[in-house]
Chain A
Amino acid sequence: MEPKTAPEKFIVPIGPQHPALKEPGHFEFTVEGEVVTNATARLGFVHRGMEKGAENRTWIQDLYLMERVCGICSHVHALAFALGVEKLAGVQAPPRAQAIRELVSELERIHSHLLWLGVAAHEGGFDTLFMFSWRDRETVMDLLETISGNRVNYSANVLGGVKIDISEKQADAIRKGMDFLEERTKHYLKVVTEDETFLGRTRNIGVMTFEQADFLGAIGPTGRASGVKRDVRVDSPYTAYNDFPVKLVTHTHGDLEARFIVRIQELYESYRLVRELVDKMPTGDLTVRVPRRIPEGEVISRVEAPRGELLYFLKSNGSDTPERVKVRTPSLCNWSSVLVTAVGHNLADMPMILAGIDPCFSCNDRIVTVNRKTDSTQMDWEDLRQYGIEYYK
């Protein structure tokens, strides 16, 4: 974050209110002519203090709070939290509930990837694709509304299961929606791999090699586009991913085109999985009983959000409120990859490279870094916690 003071260099500040991304983030690009030589990001505009807030609410209230970490991938946040709490309580949701959880996860992935496809195309100045993909995205939004009653925060999870059921009529609507979207997605894959103008903005832009991606800890589709074979759904299946496995989609080029291709091919996987789920949905109950007071313990629960691995750490002290909730979201892990790949590209490519990782600010803005250079005393876990409690009193 050192300011460059050489006279020929010029810093272009972008944000936090800017037309390109819909969320606040501040970037400074140092340019020499048109070429970017250094990039820094300042995040934290959407930091609300939810992890701390979660400690003052009960486990059940937290489910709704955690769903609002991010509006785009709301289901996976609630899912990761619910899975963690269930593990602590020593219960397991019934098979039908697990299948419905996976179904909603995949529908959410479809909505998120189509949303990203549109936004990324918009950043590249290709508004026609933006409008098309958002029009088709309404299909999956309708399906989510049909099964859950809300377009964005579906609130499908409860501790110990799900609160929504899939009827035969809804299953038919889902099948029809998938057929329509699959046809459209074929078209999109053709556009992003064949359209000459669009390829000019994506091919060999923002290249991240496998070594870089591995070193920077890139995850999710961003990492998979560089050949990082990591996907929680495959590596450690949760909910019903054991019975309904997903195929890992990777690419080797690591440029923006590869990120488009990986996400679009993941869409096909999601369509296949959604069809399979509605066809072979297990029967049975939707919930099991979860105690109000969760037994003492610590747990880590991992799920694959549309943007990559999402990790929840939960600590319970045996009461009806959590002792500690820690969330690590995929967007934060991918930021460093942007700042590294940005160097050497034209300023005009920046919006595309920024959008390439599918950044989600409300996800990653829950982190505070405390840099205490003067104070070198070591704090253990309990001291740190006490410090936090005193500080925010």
Chain B
Amino acid sequence: MENMMQGVMNKVKTWARINSPWAIHYNSGSCNGCDIEILATLTPRFDVERFGIKLQGSPRHADVLICTGPVTLQSRDRLVRIYNQMPEPKFVVAVGSCGISGGVFQGCYNVVGDISEVIPVNVYIPGCPPRPEAIIHGVVELLKSLQP
């Protein structure tokens, strides 16, 4: 009986999560290009809020961490801290070429590397910067992978 209840609860949780993921955005050293495109996805032409996706201010309220840029030495600790502050289950989306491989900033002395060297990443969105459509597609892919 208890198992059944838990199963039902889990189903409800997944349903709620897929229908309205709250995201937080952190720039760990990007050039801003990805960030303005992420912002553009919230504005009238692309408007991700119609899918229930909402950009949130606090990591404690967020399900998805949208992270841009290579990770710099300065922002590494902050990125880990934000990740740890997010409640389980949590997902990370790396936006842009720099988040995937370090991009053009490979080899710069203050760059640790890509995001997956610091925190686990679920979805990568390539592009310099990716178009807003690509960012939306990436988030949709993430939500699809959560479907039971």
- Contact of B27 with A by CB under 8 A: yes
CB-based contact B36/A72 at 8 Å: yes
Picked from A46, A118, A135, the residue with its CB within 8 Å of the CB of B29 is A46
Fill in one digit per residue for B24-67: 1 if any A CB lies within 8 Å of its CB, else 0. 11111111111111111001110000000001111100000000
Supposing A45-B75, A151-B131 touch, asked if A68 and B33 sit within 8 A by C-beta, the answer is yes
CB-based contact B74/A53 at 8 Å: no
- Contact of A71 with B by CB under 8 A: yes
- Contact of A47 with B by CB under 8 A: yes
From A72, which residue of chain B is reached at the shortest CB distance?
Answer: B32
Residues in B whose Cβ lies below 8 Å from that of A70: 31-32
- In the bound complex, CA of A141 to CA of B36 (Å): 11
CB-based contact A17/B129 at 8 Å: no
Chain B 5-27 interface residues, beta-carbon cutoff 8 Å to A:
24-27
Q: Please give the distance in Å from B42's CB to the nearest CB on chain A.
A: 8
CB-based contact B29/A52 at 8 Å: no
User: What interface size band does chain B fall in?
Assistant: 35 or more
CB-based contact A152/B36 at 8 Å: yes
Chain A 33-76 interface residues, beta-carbon cutoff 8 Å to B:
44-50, 52-53, 56, 64-65, 68-72, 74
- Contact of B118 with A by CB under 8 A: no
CB-based contact A64/B104 at 8 Å: yes
Q: Please give the distance in Å from A233's CB to the nearest CB on chain B.
A: 23
- Contact of A215 with B by CB under 8 A: no
From A393, which residue of chain B is reached at the shortest CB distance?
Answer: B109
Chain A 333-371 interface residues, beta-carbon cutoff 8 Å to B:
360-362
- Contact of A163 with B by CB under 8 A: no
- In the bound complex, CA of A74 to CA of B33 (Å): 9
How many A-B contacts are there with CB distance less than 8 Å? 125
CB-based contact A152/B129 at 8 Å: yes
CB-based contact B36/A71 at 8 Å: yes
Q: Please give the distance in Å from A79's CB to the nearest CB on chain B.
A: 16
Chain A 100-131 interface residues, beta-carbon cutoff 8 Å to B:
115, 118, 130-131
Picked from A24, A49, A64, the residue with its CB within 8 Å of the CB of B27 is A24
Picked from B25, B58, B103, B105, the residue with its CB within 8 Å of the CB of A22 is B25
- Contact of B107 with A by CB under 8 A: yes
- In the bound complex, CA of A290 to CA of B35 (Å): 34
Residues in A whose Cβ lies below 8 Å from that of B129: 71, 151-153
Chain B 106-132 interface residues, beta-carbon cutoff 8 Å to A:
107-111, 128-129, 131
Can you list 18 contacts pairing A with B, beta carbon distance less than 8 Å? A17-B59, A22-B39, A24-B28, A45-B78, A48-B111, A52-B109, A68-B103, A68-B105, A70-B31, A71-B31, A71-B35, A71-B36, A71-B129, A134-B44, A138-B43, A152-B33, A360-B32, A362-B32
Chain A residues within 8 Å of B, Cβ to Cβ: 16-19, 22-24, 44-50, 52-53, 56, 64-65, 68-72, 74, 115, 118, 130-131, 134-135, 138, 141, 150-153, 360-362, 392
Considering the complex of A and B, which 7 residue pairs feature the smallest CB-CB distances, nearest first? A71-B33, A19-B57, A71-B32, A134-B43, A53-B108, A49-B110, A49-B108
